Amino acid sequence: MSQNQDEMTGLLVEHIDAWNDHDLDRLIGLFADDCVFEASGGPEVLGQRFEGKSAVRDAFAAVFERMPDAHWGDGRHYVIEEGYCVSEWTLTGTLADGSRLEVNGCDFLTVRDGQITKKNAFRKQRPPI
């Protein structure tokens, strides 16, 4: 694996670790100022799009608020090409009504100069249990 691939893989691991630590500052620090987050759910064909670091931060904070015990486990990370990579994971967590969420998903991530510029999230549409 080349140095760039090692760096990209390290960024992917840090991304998942920051999510699992619920460390919003550390997490948003991995993103570029002009970043975009396309959430897996929402009213658009692409889910819901958040543009800019402030909007993306607010979207991430909402995830932590909705699922205070959210955990992204079984992470697998792939560098596809320079600046483009994929992380697979299993999201588990408890929703406000006490139901449990357990779904497989993935993020397609675009990276520029060591920062994430786009996070395009996908996950299975399994209902809470």
Domains in the chain: ranges and CATH: 3-123 (3.10.450.50)
| 52-57 own/partner pairs: CB under 8 Å, 24+ apart | 53/28, 56/28, 56/31, 56/119, 57/24, 57/28
pLDDT of residue 30: 98
| 97-102 own/partner pairs: CB under 8 Å, 24+ apart | 97/128, 99/128, 99/129, 100/128, 100/129, 101/67, 101/126, 101/128, 101/129, 102/126, 102/129
pLDDT band at 42 (very low <50, low <70, confident <90, very high): confident
pLDDT of residue 35: 98
Strand extents, DSSP E, 30-83: 31-44, 47-51, 71-81
Average pLDDT over residues 3-9: 84
Whole-angstrom distance, CA of residue 28 vs CA of residue 101: 24
Average pLDDT over residues 8-26: 96
Q: Is the pLDDT of residue 29 over 60?
A: yes
How large a percentage of the chain has pLDDT more than 90? 85
Burial (Cβ within 10 Å: 0-12, 13-18, ≥19) of residue 41:
exposed
Per-residue pLDDT of 62-115, as tens digits, reads 999 999 999 999 999 999 999 999 999 999 999 989 999 999 999 999 999 999
pLDDT band at 31 (very low <50, low <70, confident <90, very high): very high
Q: At residue 116, what is the residue type?
A: I
Q: For the chain, give the mean pLDDT.
A: 94
Tokens of residue 41, six digits: 């759910």
Whole-angstrom distance, CA of residue 99 vs CA of residue 16: 23
pLDDT of residue 78: 96
pLDDT of residue 2: 56
